[in-house]
Homo-oligomer: A and B are copies of this chain.
Amino acid sequence: MIKVAVLGYGTVGSGVVQVLQDNADVIRARVGEDIEVKYILDLRDFPGDKNEGLVVHDFNIILDDPEVNIVCETMGGVHPAYDFSMSALKAGKCVCTSNKELVENHGPELIATARANGCNYLFEAAVGGGIPIIRAMNTSLAQEKIVKIMGILNGTTNYILTKMAKDGVSYETVLKEAQELGYAERNPEADVEGHDAGRKIAILASLMTGKTVKFADISTEGITKINNRDFEYARKMGKSIKLIAVAECHDGVACIVAPFMIGADHPLNGVNGVFNAVHVTGNMLGDAMFYGQGAGKLATASAVVADVVDMARNMGRELPCVWDEEKLELADYKKLVKRFFVRATVKSRGEVLNTFGSIDEVDLFDEEFAFITSHMSEHDFDKKIANIKGVIKTIRVED
């Protein structure tokens, strides 16, 4: 019998308890042992909840109970989640988490502490919600040199962009609606400015390289400047606009989070609404994609419980994860070669033609036109664009 403590009885934590209880029979059949929730740590009481008898307010009850083998940290935030996780690991208890902020800030330290104490620290649910990308990076893709990762890693922004594309309504209108529906926070900055996606690609880039990629080093550009005209051009060209987090290996690893126009034949093109996806290119495997719900109570909880199952099957055994504390200096993302979508005023057509040569022009509005450049580095593109006064908007392109 494996006994579990869940830290935090909020959305994800209550989902974890539900998955462990409702799917107890399949879990028992596959693990060969019962897995039971013994404690739920929360500051609140939950009178009337069927698990109210499991609720405790003092973390030390969990820490001091030798029966507890596994701790699920679903609190979010760095403190006290960090302290609780470190204490549990030092006591030889396995810990798994949905907390991307903690993993991005302290992942290698927590993994090393787990190893030093004969247990594991897993974080499948911290990236991509229900999408099983972390375990794939550590196992199914371990034989690959990953050359590129492109992820739609934030549910809120993908919901907003999908809605803008389908209904032709403004960013502000959709954001307000998303806030009313609870899909977006009242302070949406972490999502719409790409910070959330940036933390997640930092984690994936760390697993890709085995070293530590810091979110603070990653350039992020949000979706707040994307408007309906951009979508009208995208539609005309058979493309979609997505907030993409990129980690690309080419003379070092470069990362960026930014809106991209995605070509019709790219598998990320049709990833809509609250769904997320991670597109991985390996040197032998070629392209693969992992798709699923990027957030949501039960999808995220299911990923946490996948970690519980993995740890329960591997008590006292180190699960594979190569992520050292050594910091990776990122390469300059402006060296990456791609195409660029450009909107410019009709007045600047002469400058555009002088700078870019012949272009395949798209005309949808009287006073402006748009085109997509050939492949070039972002440095070269910046230099060219500096010559043109009438540039209205530029968006990176992935075909």
Task: Report which A residues bind B (CB closer than 8 A).
Answer: 15, 18-19, 22-23, 26-27, 29-31, 124, 130-132, 135-136, 139-145, 210, 265, 267, 269-272, 275, 282-293, 296, 298-299, 301-303, 305-306, 308-310, 313, 317, 320, 322
Contacts and interface: CB of A to CB of B under 8 A. Distances in A.
Of the listed residues A140, A290, A292, A298, the one surrounded by the most CB atoms of chain B closer than 10 A to its CB is: A140
B308 A27 contact: no
Given A143-B302, A144-B23, A270 B272 contact: no
A310 B317 CA distance: 14
Contact of A309 (B26, B142, B267): B142
Contacts of A141: 132, 306
Contacts of A144: 23, 26, 302
B143 A306 contact: yes
B299 A22 contact: no
Given A305-B143, A320-B313, A322-B29, A286 B293 contact: yes
27 contacts: A18-B284, A22-B283, A22-B284, A23-B145, A23-B284, A29-B322, A30-B210, A30-B322, A130-B285, A132-B288, A135-B140, A136-B136, A140-B303, A142-B306, A143-B302, A143-B309, A265-B270, A265-B272, A275-B287, A284-B299, A286-B292, A288-B290, A288-B292, A289-B289, A290-B290, A290-B291, A313-B320
7 closest A-B pairs by beta carbon, nearest first, are A132-B140, A288-B292, A289-B291, A143-B305, A284-B302, A285-B302, A30-B142
A313 B143 CA distance: 12
Contacts of A306: 139-143
A136 B131 CA distance: 10
A71 B275 CA distance: 39
A270 B272 CA distance: 13
Contacts of A30: 142-143, 210, 320, 322
> In the complex this chain forms, how many copies of it are found?
2
Contacts of A303: 140, 285
A27 B290 contact: no
Contact of A298 (B140, B284, B320): B284
A230 to B, nearest CB: 22
A200 to B, nearest CB: 17
Nearest to A210: B29
A4 to B, nearest CB: 12
Given A140-B132, A270-B270, A272-B265, A292 B285 contact: yes
Given A142-B27, A143-B23, A305-B143, A286 B130 contact: yes
A317 B320 contact: no
A139 B135 contact: yes
B301 A26 contact: no
Contacts of A296: 286
A320 B27 CA distance: 12
Contacts of A269: 270
A285 B310 contact: no
A387 B303 CA distance: 49
Of the listed residues A142, A270, A290, A293, the one surrounded by the most CB atoms of chain B closer than 10 A to its CB is: A142
Contacts of A292: 285-289
A236 B31 CA distance: 48
A299 B270 contact: no
Contacts of A285: 130, 292-293, 298-299, 302-303
A107 to B, nearest CB: 17
A291 B317 CA distance: 31
Nearest to A26: B145
A241 to B, nearest CB: 17
A292 B309 CA distance: 26
